[in-house]
Structure formats: C-alpha cells, structure tokens
C-alpha cells in the first residue's frame, strides 16, 4: 500500500553549533541523515545516488563518459550585445594543430535553428548577434585544452548596433529592434497576455481600502551541481546523444532539425543528471545541437561540456521582472478587485518565455476569490541572455508582489494577515481569476489552519512583540504566504500534457517500467516504482525503471511543471493495472482458482493464503505459455480551455496549494537577516512518499530563502558578471534552526491514488513568506529582491531606525 501520511507528518530541523557547511537545497534538497523529531531529513543526495544505481549500475555523469576517437567541442561566442557580423575569420583556428574541424552556419546540414516554442533562435548567428555569448561558430579539437586555446584565435569583426537591456525601454517606439519579427507580437514585445474578469473600475469604486505597489526582481541562477553537457556519437546514418537533461524528446527534436534527419534517426539517452530546476529543460537542446553538427562533420564523437563560467554567462535564468499591483478590499477584508501589470525581461530570443509569462498571468491574482480582475502581462525582448525555465516557472515573481500586497492590505485594515488570507482563500465551488470553477481538491483553507496550529500563530506574534520590546539592536518579524500552483502544462500547451508508459513482468517475476520522464534528484524513480508496485502487488525492490533512451521508452512529456507523479504516474498506473489483470488471469489458470489475490510478490487463491506461490512462478508460467508479458499505459491531463482574448477559462486541470510562515531576525546595526523558524504546510493531494515530499519542501524552502535574501546576478551592458565566487547560495548555516513540514491531503480523483504535484510549490511560497517577515521586522515594505543588508539598512533608515554610520 502507499504509505499513509502520519497525522502529524512533520520534520523539525534543529541545527546545532556543530552543523556543517554542506551545500544544501539548491541541488540536494535537504541535509542530514535521519528522519524524525529533532533530526533532519534523509539527504536527498543519498536518495538520488540510490535511484541512479537502481536505473543502471553503470550510470555516470556525461563528463565522466568517453567514446573511442572522441573530440571536444567549443563554441566561439559573440563579444558584443548587438552587432552585425562583418568578418568571421577562422583561419588561425583551423591552423591550430589540435583542431579537427570547425562549423559555421553554412556547414549546418539541416536548419539553423534551436526549436523550442518558437523557431526564432539560430544555433549559430549568421548575420546579427543579439546578446553577449551568442554562438557564432563551433570547433572540435583532440583535447579540451586545445579546444579552449583555439577558440581564442577566432577573429570576428562587428558593426556594433544600438542595444537595449531594460524591458520598458525596449518597448519604446524608437528602441533598437531586438526581437525576430516572426516571434513577436509588436516591436520587441514577444507576447502581451491579458485577464479580463468582471469590472475592476466598479470594484475599486466599491472598495474601502486600495493598496498600490511596485516590485522588482532580478535574475536567479540555477546553480545545479553539474553544468550543461552532452556527447554526440554518429551511428547508423543518424546520431546518438548522451547528456544531462530534463526533456530528452525536446533534444531529439532539436538535433533532428539541425541535422535534417527524421526523428527515428536521432536517439537521445539521459545520463545521470546532477540537478536541473528548469535549467535543463530547453538549454540542452542548444548544447546537443552544437555537439551534433560537429560530430556530423567530423564523423567522430564530440563532447561539449560547459565550464561553470560559460554556463553562468550564457544559459537561461529566472526572468527579471517589474511588477505593479493595485489591490482593493472592503472594510471587513473582502477582496473586491485587483489590477496587475508586469513585464518580464525575456532576453534576446523567445525560448520558453511565452509559457513562463502565461503561468505568471494565471497566478497573478493569487489563490483568492476576487470578482474583478484585470491583468496585463508582457514578455519583452532585450539584448541580454535568453531567459527560460526555473522552478516555479514565472510565478515566484508575481507571488512576491501579490503576497506583499496582502500584507499591506492587512496593515491598512488593521487585520491579522493570516485571517485576511483565510477569509479570501479559494474553496471548492469558487471561481479563480480566470473564472475557472474549482470542483474538487482544494485544501488551502485546511493548510492555513494547520500552519496556524503548528506555528502557534497568536502566541508567536506575542512572543515576537515581546522580543522586539526587549532587544535594542535586533528585530524579529513574522511573514505568511499562501499560494496556488497549476499542475501540468495547462491550457497554453495541452498537447504536451500526456504520458505513455510500458510495464513488463519478466520471467523471474521482476518488473521493468519504461517512461520518458527523467530523474534529476527529485525522487521520480522511487515514486513511479511505488505506483507500479502498488498496482501490481509486487515488492518495490522488484521494480526497476529502464534508462531513459528515446528509442526504448515512450514519450511521457517533459519532466517539468510538477507533472511527473500526476501524469506519468497515471500512465504507469494504467499500464500496471492492465498487466495485473492479465497476471490474475494467468494465476487463476495456474492455481485452478476462481479468484486470486496478489501482494508482496506472492499470489494465492482468494481466501486460501496457505496455497500461496511466488509471483515468479506465475511469471514463468506466462512465459512458458507464450502470454504477453507487457502492457502499455496512457494518461493525459483533463480537458482544459482558455480564451486568449479574455484570459478566461479552465487554465489547469488541478491545483496544488501551500501556506508558509517564516520568522526572521534582522540585525539593526548590519542589516543582516536570518530565518529563525519556518513552517510549511502543503496540499498536494495524496502524498505517495512522505520522505521524498518533505525533501522537496525543504529544498524549495532553501531556494526560496536564497531568492529572497542573497542571490544576485549582476549584468553590465548585457554581460552577466557573476561567478560562483560572488553568487551566494544558501548553505546549511542559512537554513532555519527549526523547519516544520506538514501536509493536508485533498485528493485529486484523476491523480494516481489521489496525488497532485509538489516540486515547484515550496520555492514559490517560501520566498514570499521570508519577504513579508523582513517587512514586518523593519516596519517598511521590501519591494525589491534580494534583501541584501544594504537594502535592509535603507528600509530601516527610512523608518528612522538603524545606525547611520554603518551605511
């Protein structure tokens, strides 16, 4: 059976003075070695390594792999943010003794494109470069050192063109043109999306309180442990790709496009993947296409693995944003209207920006009943590195703003911010901002109430007030956030919300499961194995997931949008149930019984457990009698619909919810902030594996703390300037001394055993709770990320607190 969630399924992380500096959250999710009260959660690193070993004992990271005759590929990249290529001279590159071949746009055998949603981004810039770091040529050399040396010998002359880096400036009529016209709606505006529900002007006229605010966020870097990397190997008139990735079938499509090959001639194999967080959704298509065209020309395997500097400077980030809100309520706290306008800096090419913008649009009003909603969302092209997927996928930016607005509204109304959220929280039967009726699985009110109980909300507020009266140089604050998250691809991309699965019982009774979704540390292998084992009646240790190879596994859609458990899990469940019916038929014939029961890889006639036989005996019988030993399964997201003219409709088939509470302490002398305690309560339907789910929440909390407090990636004239020496991410020392995680379960009828998604939600909620706690502590509203000490000191000085000599 799927494990039941304990009535008090919580984990307290009490980190003592002996806590060590292990990298946390960003890659591994959590730290520690034990489960239970007063201890930390099982390390996700161990689970990931176990999972990889379970897939294939020989699984290795791509940079550890080698093939006979393998070359090393390197991109020659643009040094200017916007310019016309006047001369590309590779003669010195070709003359380098270690270089085997070079590739220019003219050498690409297929189409010069990296297809994502649009087809505006070339693999190699043929005429105009649009951002610093855009590839203009490629080379392959005998050694990695030779490849790096030769790349420095390229001579490229540009006619520099005017550049624009700010999305508002890029929207001006006289702004330099960045966007490829075919991928833009108007000028540099890639996409303008709207929601028009009710009458916001009437709502504002009926309101007693109206709060307005402007908010800004910058880049967030993924900082996965393993950089981007692939190996392309020519084979049988086609190409095999081995690499670190989230979406192998995306990569297959991109490589087929640049080589001019049918999909059947391109095979993509996911290697052990050291983290993704969205950064390995679209970027591997570009990296694989580079390696593939080099391998095609050289007729030898080619490895392209980025070093950390190249990875940070040239790959996708979370979109920087400018967000403006106007929120209105009546005197009793009832929300009556919200008006939102936000701008996402998409970078030079579309990549995934239209989908990112759409999710931001749908989530902009928050998890609240609001009769009148007006939202205008813009993604804008600039001469900067293209942005793409990141955990939360366009929603954390607007959540920071809408949760700040809720706290400001509570302050103006003299109302408890938790009570304000509870009063307006969506319930079954309510309509969302897109006018979608929620007909099931809405656990937000219960999550809010559970968070209140766990944190002792009223007592905690009193404790913090007493602390602030007592301490002259420190202030504590309490922040809360409530969020919703549309599970799956939604109405913007319903054609991708599908999954295939194949489940086979081997002749010895063991089970092989094949799906196209990838393991990257999130625990997908364990959860999908659990679902198959539960449905078949086998032991989980008898189930093995096949390595992801596009020639051997069905397309299960991308490993994104917290959809693996819900959609791929449903496909595995469908296949396993079909196979179980066949196994039961065989067992009835073998045992001469009218009915059978199967549990823990054992089969017996119904009501006669003393006549039990191993499942392996039934499997051997099936094999010997030429029975079909496998079944296919299929699942797709429930029907969705959306009207782009109004932004109304059923945007997602189901939503996950969360309520987070953060207690933060601010040093009035230095401006430093630290998270002292944290409570996170989630509704993700049935929790199939509580330990893994808690790991997801703890890791998301860590990433949210980083986003709110410390992660900053500066750029100057379109050039990313950060490195891992300067880009600070959370360690164990930055985690709260007490982290309490719990779940309320509002099952989803169409999810496997009632499950919904969880992976993205913790980051979305945690960052906003931390931001609100800082604002509460200093008595002034934080309106820009990250909350550096300098920024907090400015807020303190604006309220007449803090030490002026320290600024």
Range from 10-24, 95-109, 577-591, 700-714 carrying the lowest mean pLDDT = 10-24
The predicted model gives 11-25 an average pLDDT of: 29
Burial label for 512, CB within 10 Å (0-12, 13-18, 19+), is middle
**Confidence check: pLDDT of 660 > 70:** yes
How crowded is the C-beta side of 664, counted as CA atoms within 13 Å?
Answer: 34
pLDDT band at 606; cut points 50, 70, 90: very high
CA 31 – CA 625 distance, rounded (Å): 50
Using the predicted structure, report yes or no on whether residue 654 has a pLDDT greater than 90.
Answer: yes
**pLDDT digit string, tens, across residues 234-249:** 999 999 999 999 999 9
Residue 699 scores a pLDDT above 70: yes
Query: Which region among 315-329, 635-649, 665-679, 735-749 has the lowest average model confidence (pLDDT)?
Result: 635-649
pLDDT at 568 over 70: yes
Q: Is the pLDDT of residue 388 over 60?
A: yes
Residue 29 has pLDDT above 80, yes or no: no
- Residue 586, pLDDT score: 98
The DSSP code sequence of 270-331 is EPP----TTTTTSHHHHHHHHHHHHHHHHTS-EEEE--HHHHHHHS--PPPEEEEEEEEE-T
Mean pLDDT of the chain: 92
| 24 pLDDT more than 80 | no
47-51, 184-188, 563-567, 665-669: the lowest-pLDDT one: 47-51
Question: Which pLDDT score, from 0 to 100, does residue 807 have?
Answer: 28
Nearest by Cα to 339 from 369, 368, 376, 371: 376
Distance CA 497, CA 348 (A): 28
Q: Is 488 left (phi over 0), alpha (psi -120 to 50) or beta?
A: left
The pLDDT of residue 39 is 28
Euclidean distance between CA atoms 353 and 63, whole angstroms: 29
Q: Is the pLDDT of residue 47 over 50?
A: no
pLDDT attached to residue 225: 94
Could you read off the pLDDT of 586-595 as tens digits, one per residue?
A: 999 999 999 9
| Residue 60: predicted pLDDT | 82
Backbone angles phi, psi at 495, to 5 degrees: -65, -15
Instruction: Give the tens place of pLDDT for each residue, 212-223.
Output: 999 999 999 999
Element (H, E) at 89: strand 83-89
Run of H or E including 656:
strand 655-667
How confident is the model over 500-542, as pLDDT tens digits?
Answer: 999 999 999 999 999 999 999 999 999 999 999 999 999 999 9
Q: What is the pLDDT of residue 800?
A: 64
Report the distance separating Cα 608 and Cα 546, nearest Å.
Answer: 35
The region, left, alpha or beta by phi > 0 then psi within -120 to 50, assigned to residue 263 is: alpha
pLDDT at 11: 34
Q: If you average pLDDT over residues 4-13, what whole number do you get?
A: 34
What is residue 20's predicted lDDT score, i.e. its pLDDT? 24
- Name which of 254, 223, 328 is nearest 727 in CA terms: 223
Does the bond joining 321 to the residue before it have cis omega, within 30 degrees of 0?
no
| 386-395 b/e (C-beta count within 10 Å ≥ 16 → b) | bbbbbbbbbb
801 confidence band (pLDDT: 50, 70, 90): low
**Res 59: pLDDT:** 60
**For the purposes of burial, counting CB atoms within 10 Å of the CB of 281, is it exposed (0-12), middle (13-18) or buried (19 or more)?**
buried
Residue 599 has a pLDDT of: 97
Q: Which residue has the higher pLDDT, 755 or 1?
A: 755
Compute the average pLDDT of residues 189-214: 98
Sign of CA dihedral 698, 401, 315, 133: negative
pLDDT at residue number 783: 98
Q: What is the pLDDT at residue 37?
A: 30
């Amino acid at each position: 059976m799927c494990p039941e969630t304990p009535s008090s399924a919580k984990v307290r992380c009490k980190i003592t003075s002996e806590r060590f500096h292990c990298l946390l959250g960003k890659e591994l999710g959590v730290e520690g070695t034990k489960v239970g009260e007063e201890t930390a959660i099982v390390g996700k690193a161990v689970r990931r390594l176990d999972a990889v070993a379970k897939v294939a004992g020989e699984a290795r990271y791509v940079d550890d792999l080698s093939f006979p005759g393998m070359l090393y590929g390197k991109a020659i990249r643009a040094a200017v943010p916007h310019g016309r290529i006047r001369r590309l001279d590779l003669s010195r590159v070709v003359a380098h003794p270690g270089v085997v071949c070079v590739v220019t746009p003219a050498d690409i055998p297929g189409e010069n494109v990296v297809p994502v949603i649009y087809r505006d981004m070339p693999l190699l810039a043929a005429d105009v470069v649009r951002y610093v770091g855009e590839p203009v040529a490629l080379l392959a050399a005998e050694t990695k050192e030779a490849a790096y040396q030769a790349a420095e010998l390229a001579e490229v002359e540009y006619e520099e063109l005017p550049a624009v880096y700010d999305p508002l400036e890029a929207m001006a009529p006289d702004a330099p043109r960045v966007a490829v016209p075919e991928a833009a709606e108007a000028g540099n505006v890639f996409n303008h999306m709207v929601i028009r529900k009710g009458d916001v002007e009437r709502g504002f006229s009926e309101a007693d309180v109206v709060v307005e605010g402007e908010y800004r966020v910058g880049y967030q870097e993924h900082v996965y442990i393993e950089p981007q990397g692939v190996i392309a190997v020519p084979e049988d008139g086609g190409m095999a790709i081995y690499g670190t990735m989230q979406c192998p079938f995306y990569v297959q499509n991109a490589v087929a496009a640049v080589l001019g090959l049918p999909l059947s001639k391109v095979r993509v194999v996911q290697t052990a993947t050291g983290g993704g967080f969205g950064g390995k959704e679209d970027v591997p298509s570009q990296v694989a296409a580079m390696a593939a065209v080099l391998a095609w020309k050289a007729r030898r395997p080619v490895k392209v693995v980025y070093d950390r500097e190249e990875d940070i400077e040239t790959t996708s980030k979370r979109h920087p944003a400018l967000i403006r809100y106007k929120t209105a309520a009546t005197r009793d706290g009832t929300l009556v209207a919200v008006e939102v306008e936000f701008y996402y800096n998409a970078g030079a090419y579309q990549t995934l920006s239209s989908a990112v913008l759409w999710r931001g649009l749908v989530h902009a009003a928050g998890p609240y009943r609001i009769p009148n909603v007006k939202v205008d969302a813009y993604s804008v092209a600039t001469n900067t590195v293209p942005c793409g997927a990141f955990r939360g996928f366009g929603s954390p930016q607007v959540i920071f703003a809408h949760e700040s607005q809720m706290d400001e509204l509570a302050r103006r109304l003299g109302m408890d911010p938790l009570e304000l959220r509870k009063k307006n929280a969506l319930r079954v039967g309510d309509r969302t901002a897109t006018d979608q009726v929620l007909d099931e699985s809405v656990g937000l009110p219960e999550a809010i109430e559970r968070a209140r109980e766990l944190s002792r909300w009223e007592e905690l507020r009193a404790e913090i007030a007493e602390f602030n009266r007592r301490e002259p140089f420190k202030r504590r604050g309490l922040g809360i956030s409530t969020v919703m998250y549309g599970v799956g691809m939604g109405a913007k991309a319903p054609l991708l919300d599908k999954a295939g699965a194949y489940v086979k019982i081997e002749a010895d009774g063991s089970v092989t499961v094949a799906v196209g979704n990838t393991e990257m540390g999130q625990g997908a292998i364990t959860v999908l194995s659990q679902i198959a084992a539960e449905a078949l009646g086998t032991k989980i240790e008898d189930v093995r997931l096949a390595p992801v190879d596009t020639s051997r596994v069905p397309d299960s859609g991308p490993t994104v949008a917290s959809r693996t458990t819900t959609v791929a899990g449903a496909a595995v469940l469908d296949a396993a149930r079909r196979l179980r019916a066949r196994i039961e038929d065989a067992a009835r014939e073998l045992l001469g019984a009218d009915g059978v029961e199967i549990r823990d890889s054992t089969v017996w006639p119904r009501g006669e457990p003393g006549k039990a036989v191993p499942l392996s005996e039934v499997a051997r019988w099936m094999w010997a009698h030429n029975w079909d030993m496998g079944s296919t399964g299929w699942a797709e997201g429930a029907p969705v619909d959306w009207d782009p003219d109004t932004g109304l409709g059923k945007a997602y088939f189901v939503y996950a919810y969360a309520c987070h509470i953060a207690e933060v302490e601010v040093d009035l002398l230095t401006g430093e902030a630290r998270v002292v305690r944290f409570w996170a309560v989630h509704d993700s339907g049935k929790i199939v594996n509580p330990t893994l789910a808690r790991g997801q929440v703890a890791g998301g909390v860590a990433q949210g703390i980083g986003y709110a407090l410390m992660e900053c990636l500066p750029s100057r004239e379109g050039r990313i300037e950060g490195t891992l020496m300067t880009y600070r991410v959370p360690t164990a020392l930055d985690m709260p001394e007490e982290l309490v995680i719990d779940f309320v379960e509002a099952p989803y009828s169409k999810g496997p055993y009632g499950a919904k998604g969880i992976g993205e939600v913790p980051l979305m909620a945690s960052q906003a709770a931390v931001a609100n706690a800082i604002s509460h502590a200093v008595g002034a509203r934080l309106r820009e990320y990250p909350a550096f000490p300098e920024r907090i000191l400015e807020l303190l000085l604006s309220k007449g607190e803090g030490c002026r000599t320290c600024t």
